Structure 1
């Protein structure tokens, strides 16, 4: 099973499907260089939630990748003093599926396809192509594609799955997107719903069955609590404000997370000292 029922006030609101697709290694991908450089000391805590748009709600569409990418794009534009856009998530998701050769299927997408869409096609505003489930399999209008050209992004890169590298990205004011493997225990994760912290599988025991991959956006960290702050796409009502926390140890486990990507409006990438 690759879905859960999202229940609000005792009633099923949506059936959430976890269909993010992992990126295959590609030597053409740009990686933010990881080597010694003069960077400021990291603060003990970063929280970018105030810079983010309201938490999106993907509903029953397998568009977590587009939702995470749109959130990242909005913050990057704000960080770099560009006009507010509120990018069309269905525009991104449709063109991801075009790149994948199957626009009439709701099977999820990869980050590389989402970022390639921003690079090659751009994105229109959600006011031009709404997040309406009835539009899921429709091609956006010619006007949408014309407007999208104005919002192309030329610079995206992978970040090493390294605590220092990830923190420096956040310290510069930029979130990053990544995919998390959710296990069957996620459905009844009492610690998550009581404390907001994702339960970590016991390293001394076999991992539970995999529920699926889910794309999310990291917007902060806390050294004292040893937690990364993550924006979800289940709406602002989920867990009070739509966010949850992931322990450092789980975030840095390559068997549980992959594909750490970020965006910039220019090609000036700072380097980081790997610890």
Structure 2
């Protein structure tokens, strides 16, 4: 597998100005029983300000230049698989979802959640302006490829402290945890499922609407409006019995099912605009 396009952040900068004009495990639940959440069951008149994302869409021409992952070929797969995850966290008021999805979720899962990584190390370096601003997923991936990412203990995340840049000690620690590369993943049920079956978390991003933000406890999201703000999160499991993916979000344990959510296989192509796997 080849690394993601090198120095892709330069493409983003050029595109941005040209346009000028976002230690617990997720072990298998014994009483898993999600139910489909229909569009008419979504709570209306919700204060969206409490739900912060921060994903900025990659320009199409740049995204399509990223190498595409081939689907892992496995002799057999489990009908239900949940990857071991770090504890559910909360990005707070910062637009740091990309840092949480890539560094905290995916990179930590790559160690079997034996080590937790700092979303602040990544987000603080790639945000486009202030703490309310977002970032590009590929800028995060390129940073983890080039610099690595330090552990949570070296640089704990604090909402509102996005201007703090890594010091020499944090950078030295980060260098121990570089990734070898990354691919984009076909955005369909079978490709994402095959990556999870092979033990690889998938970072996804797209617009999230009222239905997503107010997803009920143990409910499966099967409705997408295509509107809403940009948000990134991590696919960390699947369940063929209920035809859904399990996602790890960064909105704290009060969101949906103790901080996790269930997304129907049938809507993943509509919900997600980008998908990546690191190695």
TM tier relative to shorter chain:
0.7 to 0.9
Q: Distance in 2 between matches of 1:195 and 1:148?
A: 36
Partner Cα distance (1:117, 1:106) in 2: 20
Change (3 A) 1:223 1:92: same
Aligned position for 2:177: 151
Question: Are 1:29 and 2:59 an aligned pair?
Answer: no
Identify the residue that residue 198 of structure 2 maps to in structure 1. Answer: 172
Closer/same/farther in 2, CA of residues 106 and 142 from structure 1, 3 Å limit: farther
In structure 1, what is the equivalent of residue 120 of structure 2? 90
Matched residue count: 230
Cα distance in 2, alignment partners of residues 53 and 185 from structure 1: 25
Unaligned ranges ≥5, structure 2: 1-21, 23-46
- Of the three residues 30, 55, 79, the one matched with 2:88 is 55
Within 5 A, what are the aligned runs for 1:226-245? 226-245=243-262
Aligned counterpart, 1:270? none
Structure 1 position 105, deviation (Å): 5.0
Q: TM-score, normalised by structure 1?
A: 0.75
Q: 1:123 to 1:195 in 2, by over 3 A?
A: closer
Distance in 2 (CA, whole Å) between partners of 1:133 and 1:181 is 22
What is the match of residue 272 of structure 1? none
Equivalent residue, structure 2, for 1:214: 231
What CA deviation, in whole Å up to 9, does each residue of 1:81-109 have, x standing for no partner? xxx33111111101223xxxx45453111
Give the CA RMSD over aligned residues.
2.4
1:43 aligned residue: 78
Partner of 1:269: none
Q: Which runs of 4+ in 1 moved over 4 A?
A: none
Q: Does residue 132 of the first structure (1) align with residue 149 of the second (2)?
A: no
**Are the counterparts in 1 of residues 94 and 133 from structure 2 also a CA contact under 8 Å?**
no
Post-superposition shift, 1:59?
1.0
In the superposition, relative to structure 1, how do residues 229 and 40 fare at CA in structure 2: closer, same or farther (>3 Å)?
A: same
**1:73 partnered with 2:107:** yes
Contact 1:177 1:260 (C-alpha < 8 Å) held by counterparts: yes
State the SS of the aligned residue for 2:228. Answer: strand
Unpaired runs of at least 5, structure 1: 3-11, 202-206, 265-275
CA contact (8 A) 2:93 2:132 kept: no
1:180-199 equivalences under 5 Å are 180-186=206-212, 189=214, 192-199=215-222
Task: Look up the SS of the partner of 2:193 in the other structure.
Answer: helix
Q: Please report how far the alpha carbon of residue 240 of structure 1 lies from its aligned counterpart in structure 2 after TM superposition.
A: 4.2
For 1:158-196, what per-residue CA distance to the aligned partner results, in whole angstroms no more than 9, with x for missing partners?
111132221111111111110132124445x4xx21442
TM-score of the superposed pair, with normalisation by structure 2: 0.74
- 1:211/1:175 CA distance change after superposition, 3 Å: same
What secondary structure sits across from 1:168 in the alignment? helix
